[in-house]
Structure 1
C-alpha cells in the first residue's frame, strides 16, 4: 500500500515528463470506490491515473466522477497511454503500473492474495481490472 503523497508525486512527475498538466485529484473518502484518481490533461484528452487503495498498483483509465451525489460506478475503462505508463514506472518505482492488456485479462486470485476471498466469491470479477479497481462495498 502507498500513501496519497507518493501517488500525487508520481502523477506530477509523470505529467511533467509527458507534457501533461495535473488538473485535480479525486480521492475516495468512503468505502467505495477502492481507488483514487489523478486527472492529467493533455491537448487531445484527459486521463485518470488510478491508484488502488490496498496495493501499490497504478493504471490509466477514463476519468470518473465521484462525490457530490454523482457516482459513476461501472467498471473502469482502461486506456493505452504508453508514454504515461513508462513515466509513472520511472517516477515512482514503488508502484506496479499495469496496462489495459494486463487489466483486461483474467483475474488469478493466487497472484493477488490481498483481494478478499469473500469479495472474489461474492462479486466474481471477470478481469484483473475489476478485481483491483472497483466499487464493492
Structure 2
C-alpha cells in the first residue's frame, strides 16, 4: 500500500458514495496507517488503511490522540468490497482480543501490550 493507491481508492469511494474528502494523513513513524477524513451530511469520520492493507472506519481522527473509536459504515464496506475487492474490518472484529497475524511484530506486541486487534493494527508506536 502506498499513498497514491490509498488516495485513488478513497477518491473513488467518495465519488461512488457521495462523500467529501476533507484531508489525508500519510503514515510516518507514528501513526503507522493511512487516514482519510471524510465528510457525510456534515459529519466527519475516518477511513483507515494499514501499510499491510487492513481497512477500518473510525468515528474520527486526531493525529495527536492515540486512540480510535472504530465504527461500521455500510456504504464504505459496500463500495470498497464491490469496486476494489477490499474487506473492511468490522467494529466487533477490531475490538476483539488480539489475534496473531504474521505481519504484526511480536516484539511490539510484547512491549506495547495491545489489548485488541484494532490497537495492534492501527497504532502510534514508535
Give TM-score, length-normalised by structure 2: 0.91
CA RMSD, aligned part only?
1.4
State the partner residue of 1:26. 25
Shift of 1:44: 4.4
CA shift digits 1:39-98 (9 cap, x unpaired): 111114111111112x111111122222xxxx112x2111121111221222322x4321
Gaps of 5+ in 1: none
Give runs of aligned pairs for residues 1-137 of structure 1, distance below 5 A: 2-28=1-27, 30-53=28-51, 55-66=52-63, 71-73=64-66, 75-93=67-85, 95-109=86-100, 112-137=101-126
- Aligned equivalents of 1:31, 1:81: Cα separation in 2: 28
Structure 2 gaps, min length 5: none
The alignment's TM-score, normalised by the length of structure 1, stands at 0.84
Contact kept in structure 1, 2:33 and 2:48, CA below 8 Å: yes
